[in-house]
Structure 1
Amino acid sequence: MLLEVKDLHVSYGAIRALKGISCQVAEGEIVALIGANGAGKTTTLRTVSGLIRPQAGSIIYRGQPITKLPPHQIVSLGICQVPEGRRVFTRMTVLENLEMGAYSRKDRANIKSDIERVFQRFPRLAERKAQLAGTLSGGEQQMLAMGRALMSRPTLLLMDEPSMGLAPMLVQEIFSIIQEINQNGTTILLVEQNAHMALSIAHRAYVLETGELVLAGSAKELANNPEVRKAYLGE
């Protein structure tokens, strides 16, 4: 198993954000976490990437506990997060943002070819490589955030709300790129409000409600589950 989350508890002061969740991600999968706002989805990703320390529980990556490691060490192990709201470096160019994504790498010689690969995958970024990231559209910033994360050569990519604030046509494009990234060998743990899109590309999924896992199964099973359809698919 690539990633195992066991009995994770996280609190913000008196608020219990995660109440003992356990989930797994196998190599090569796209696993979706779905649920309403405030369910604990983003908290789960931030805890896996070391940005939040849990009160209890463990996170195992490739058989090794990473629960107490700082974020930069977790990145160097092969876990990278595309944050909610994109968080690009607005005063830096597209190219500089991509170079920042490779900051932890020692193999400087391969960085240039990886940047070219990102430009092949996202031709719009190639056209705008000298442009300040803050002047890009929302969709282009999402592509840049994804490209920047790929520059760290992750084995596991954590994606937080990639469709947020995007026009429906762009959402389709972003999700097909996520599938392509997965088919090229990157495992993905996806947090997404748009449950319909998430379940259409995921292999498996978990449903979170107020910090607890209430359902788990194949994406197909959950997409056909009457409770899920009513609560998250608007049917």
Structure 2
Amino acid sequence: MLKVEDLNVYYGAIHAIKGISLEVEEGQIVTLIGANGAGKTTTLRTISGLNKAKSGQITFKGKSINSVPAQDIMAMGISQVPEGRRVFANMTVLENLELGAYLRKDKNGIKKDMDRVFLKFPRLFERIKQQAGTLSGGEQQMLAMGRALMSKPKLLLLDEPSMGLAPLLVQEIFSIIKELNQEGTTILLVEQNAHMALSIAHQAYVLETGRIVLSGDAKELASRPEISEAYLGGAVGH
């Protein structure tokens, strides 16, 4: 579904992404793990058209999206839940969700997806008229995910969904990610909590200072000593 080949991205003079290649098959959860500053967010932002690649190729469903504007990439079916949630604080929960569907014209479909979001995140329904800025961190994460789902994505990009959340909420968010995938949404997950990410992903890539240093089956990577030392030891979740 998504193919990234030999991607290079710069921030000014800084070579942030150094020739990475990765693939996301339809129906999979693929995770990108790595320390802070490894280039995980930059990779997602480049896929969704917010950053421009210096060189390399990004293909979605067989079409190159390198020079496609971000809003058109979203219309093609790629939706991103940004790091730090970024909900519209002064708008209500309902208005945030409606914004997620702003490119859609199918009123019945929108209504159906709204119901589905409330089924997945009952707490959002309870706070439907509340301003998003007054929600807890966990609720804002649910809202950011719900808003992305309202665009009916074929591929959902999740950037650090567990960041700053209490362990119980992390469990809840991850079980919802797994459910969404089982219901047919393909997911590319960027996550510092490597342990959680590897436990639900099919494939994994390990990013270090802009390069992919390891990749393969997520369960197999989770059991490798160098991974558990670097990413699953005391540093997990901090």
What corresponds to 1:77 in structure 2? 76
Mean CA deviation greater in 113-122 or 45-54:
113-122
2:188 match: secondary structure = strand
Identity of matched residues, %: 71
What corresponds to 1:223 in structure 2? 222
Q: RMSD in angstroms over aligned alpha carbons?
A: 0.7
Residue-by-residue CA offset, 1:111-148 (whole Å, 9 max, x unaligned)? 12211111111000000000000000000000000000
Moved beyond 6 Å, runs of 4+: none
Structure 1 letter corresponding to 2:42: T
| Separation of aligned partners in 2, 1:195 and 1:56 | 29
In structure 2, stretches of 5+ residues that fail to align are none
Q: CA offset at residue 180 of structure 1?
A: 0.3
- Aligned pairs for 1:132-171 within 5 A: 132-171=131-170
Q: CA offset at residue 80 of structure 1?
A: 0.2
What corresponds to 1:21 in structure 2? 20
Q: CA offset at residue 73 of structure 1?
A: 0.3
| Separation of aligned partners in 2, 1:160 and 1:73 | 20
Q: CA offset at residue 27 of structure 1?
A: 0.2
What corresponds to 1:90 in structure 2? 89
Aligned residues: 234
Answer yes or no: is 1:193 the counterpart of 2:192.
yes
Q: CA offset at residue 200 of structure 1?
A: 0.4
1:196 match: secondary structure = helix
| Separation of aligned partners in 1, 2:189 and 2:91 | 27
- Aligned pairs for 1:62-141 within 5 A: 62-141=61-140
Residue-by-residue CA offset, 1:148-201 (whole Å, 9 max, x unaligned)? 000000000000000000000000000000000000000000000000000000
| Separation of aligned partners in 2, 1:215 and 1:109 | 44
Structure 2 letter corresponding to 1:164: M
In structure 1, stretches of 5+ residues that fail to align are none
Q: CA offset at residue 218 of structure 1?
A: 0.3
1:33 match: secondary structure = strand
1:197 match: secondary structure = helix
